[in-house]
Chains A and B, each alone.
Chain A
Amino acid sequence: MAGERAAGLVRELHRAAGGHLPPFRAEGLRQALEEMRALYERNQADVSEAKSGRTDLIFLIRFRHCCLLRNQRCVVAYLYDRLLRIRALRWEYGSILPNAIQFHMSAEEVEWFNRYKKSLATYMRSVGGEEGLDLTQDIKPPKSLYIEVRCLKDYGEFEIDDGTTVLLKKNSQHFLPRWKCEQLIRQGVLEHVLL
């Protein structure tokens, strides 16, 4: 049935729950586009015949047109939803993505991510006075400047503003400025401990 491949792409993406980004299906996409091209060519040929009198072709033309629209919809929705997921990654992971995730993105998507990052950075700089405002900080309303954190994984050395370095070893606890830790907590390296 026409449109199966494109619908398959959508189905797989829909199954990946929680905003997870599955690998980019370049082959599936290519096949869907190939199908569209073939349908279009056949329709082009039939339209000129239909205009010169063969009205029995009209149904076929209409059918193919439906399939073309369907494929277009599936492909566009697939690409768009992936971009939505990639955008979420900037907010949840930060500006540098781990290689495992980058591996799942196509070259164009990586390019899009970089441009989005830049856009976001420009915007954040323009808001909130001289130094700008980091919107990715303080997602939850802060209660204090410093927070207690416990280290979940070995991370290594970590430098804070006044120059001192802290060694983040598994299970060590530290009292650190909130804004330095937020990224690491979101990445699962540190754990915010409520006193």
Chain B
Amino acid sequence: MSEAYFPVGPGLGPEENFLSLDDILMSQEKLPGRAESALPRLAFALGQGAGADSGDSIPEGSKLEIPLWLAKGLHDSKRRIISMELPKIYKEAWRTVFSADANVVDLHKMGPYYYGFGSQLLNFDNPENPEIAQTILQNAYNEDTSALVARLDELERALFRAGQKGLNDFQCWEKGQASQITASSLVQNYGKRKFTDMDG
């Protein structure tokens, strides 16, 4: 990893960092909801019912799937427009599955931003919020990092990487390499890239 590049990290809990690339991609994830009143179809060119005439409206009560950023923007505590539901994996049944061993569940497949997304859900008034918060907290602190990093979601991967880097740095120091000036990894990556460009 480049030593001088410090990107804006993801926000903590229900807050997002405006400039964080991680948070932006996380809020692209879709979640299910319902229209609380008739909504003009033009707005939702989401591929819901191709072939609808323009000027038609989505009837009240129909199901929608919209990205988190839109859900947050349209959500009104008086709930006039849309109401958001908990996606399946945050519901009761799945929560008990997750409290099992980390190896059991392929979290990345469920949604690469399970923890961040879950924290965002706390923004919508939902009676199950306290339970969700509990589950997220439990699992996030469980540092039982499985050998297959591919099954962890982004937060866990970041934790894993941080732990790994710490370990590597310590070993480096032990070997007396801390004072050895090294080629910048950034520069090395540029070198490699150029090589492949020339090939193909």
Q: Which A residues lie at the B interface, using CB under 8 A?
A: 1-3, 7, 10-11, 13-14, 17-20, 56, 59-60, 62-67, 69-70, 73-74, 76-77, 80-81, 84-85, 87-89, 91-93, 98, 100-101, 139-143, 147, 181-182, 185-188, 191-192, 194
Contacts and interface: CB of A to CB of B under 8 A. Distances in A.
- Chain B interface size, as a band, is 35 or more
Given A81-B7, A143-B179, A69 B187 contact: no
Contact of B25 (A14, A60, A85): A14
Contact of B46 (A1, A18, A91, A188): A1
A60 B186 contact: no
B32 to A, nearest CB: 16
Contacts of B180: 140, 192, 194
B194 interface: yes
A18 B70 CA distance: 30
Contacts of B5: 18-19, 84-85, 88
Given A10-B24, A93-B186, A181-B181, 17 more contacts: A1-B67, A2-B45, A14-B25, A18-B185, A59-B43, A59-B81, A60-B40, A74-B24, A77-B18, A77-B20, A81-B8, A85-B5, A88-B2, A92-B2, A92-B187, A194-B176, A194-B177
Contacts of B74: 62-63, 66
B46 A88 contact: no
Contact of A98 (B4, B6, B81, B190): B190
A17 B185 CA distance: 11
Contacts of A181: 181
Given A10-B25, A59-B39, A92 B1 contact: no
B4 A69 contact: no
B194 A185 contact: no
Given A7-B28, A92-B186, A19 B2 contact: yes
Nearest to A181: B181
Contacts of B42: 60
B6 A84 contact: yes
Nearest to A77: B19
Contact of A141 (B178, B182, B186): B178
Contacts of B21: 10, 13-14, 77, 81
A187 B179 contact: no
B73 A69 contact: yes
